[in-house]
Amino acid sequence: MNTIQNYIEAMFRDFPKTKKTQDLKKQILESMQSKYEDLISQGTPEQDAVASVIATFGSIEELKKEYGIEEDERELLDSGFLHEYLKYRSFFAKALAAAISGIILATIIPILFDRPMMTALYLLIIGIAVFVIIAVTVSGNRYERIRSHQYALASEDQVEIIRNQDHFSRIYPILIAAGVLIIIVGVALHVLVDGRLELLPAATELQKDQPAAMLMVFVAIAVAIFVWASATASTYKQLLLSKAQDAGAWDEHMSEKKYGWLYSVTMPLSVCVFLLFGFLYNAWHIAWIVFPVTAIVTSAIVALLWYSHKSAQP
């Protein structure tokens, strides 16, 4: 049912937000929902019912002419190229999640071992993870046309993306909740095990460090879920993004496009700070926190710069 509503929202995204268009959209939606319920009551599978209802919607072009909305003169995005981009984004989400989680998991090495060989292994893992992040990001440059919205989606492609987005939106809250639960369980186990080890006078330094290492495993798993889910959700959001439909999301997209280069400055600096604290103070186990802090601060700076840019415009 949500797929039908999302489809109607997408079809009307270029229409003016007037009472007349809202009433028309509501009327069409109610008609389609009624037909959908009839098909379901007749035993039609849900996906077939949705496809049938959408197929009967017809063309939106006559309505656009009636409301004086100009034709979208952008070139239609080739379906093959679109599906290639979707495969890339799927791989990107998994690779990014694995690389970031790998960095967190790697902190277990300096937590448990204080030997030069182990430090070298730790830095090697960090280097591999950073290389993976850069490589998968750069490999997406060939899809700049999609990322800058220099295209128009064919109706059937738009329906497919809306359907996929609708399906993923159902499991997205579950994934986020699962990630939060994993962190809570990790912290609880850390406190429990650490408390018991404090009562053991014969506990070795290695044993005392094990609760912190265990916590890093839980954090890494949770972060992998967060990163993969967020990257996947953003894929559908960007493909369906429209200035007329979602001004807030469009502003966010344009701000990152104008000031996103700041990340290429702040993130390498965060690596330098990370290495500095690691080598000078042997704080490898906690220095990783500089990466999420840098990302948050940079996002705030980008938002402030974009707000200033918009405020300066007449």
The answer to whether residues 131 and 272 belong to one domain is: no
Number of folded domains that form the chain: 3
Host domain of residue 17: 2-66
Last residue of a domain, one of 240, 257, 286: 240
* Burial class of 150 by CB neighbour count within 10 A (0 to 12, 13 to 18, 19+): exposed
The answer to whether residues 203 and 296 belong to one domain is: no
User: What's the Cα-to-Cα distance from 281 to each of 198, 215, 278, rounded to whole Å?
Assistant: 25, 22, 6
Per-residue pLDDT of the chain (314 residues), as tens digits, is 567 777 777 676 666 666 777 777 787 778 888 888 888 888 888 877 777 777 766 556 566 666 555 555 556 778 888 899 999 999 999 998 999 888 888 888 887 787 778 888 888 988 898 899 889 888 888 887 777 666 777 767 777 887 788 888 889 899 999 988 998 998 888 888 877 777 667 667 666 778 888 888 898 898 899 889 988 988 887 787 654 444 444 455 455 555 555 665 676 677 667 766 766 676 766 777 887 788 788 777 877 876 676 666 55
298-301 LR contacts (CB < 8 Å, sep 24+): 298/262, 298/263, 298/266, 298/267, 301/259, 301/262
CA atoms within 13 A on the CB side of 157: 18
Q: If residue 108 lies in a helix (H) or strand (E), which one and from where to where?
A: helix 108-112
The answer to whether residues 141 and 267 belong to one domain is: no
The answer to whether residues 196 and 157 belong to one domain is: yes
The answer to whether residues 8 and 124 belong to one domain is: no
The three-class DSSP label of residue 245 is: coil
The answer to whether residues 195 and 292 belong to one domain is: no
Last residue of a domain, one of 215, 240, 265: 240
80 phi and psi, to 5 degrees?
A: -65, -40
The answer to whether residues 217 and 135 belong to one domain is: yes
The answer to whether residues 230 and 276 belong to one domain is: no
List b or e across 3-33, with b for residues whose CB sees 16 or more CB atoms inside 10 angstroms: bbebbbbbbbebbeeeeeeeebbeebbeebe
Last residue of a domain, one of 210, 240, 270: 240
The answer to whether residues 166 and 310 belong to one domain is: no
Look up the pTM and report it.
0.65
The answer to whether residues 52 and 81 belong to one domain is: no
| Cβ-contact 11, 57 below 8 angstroms | yes
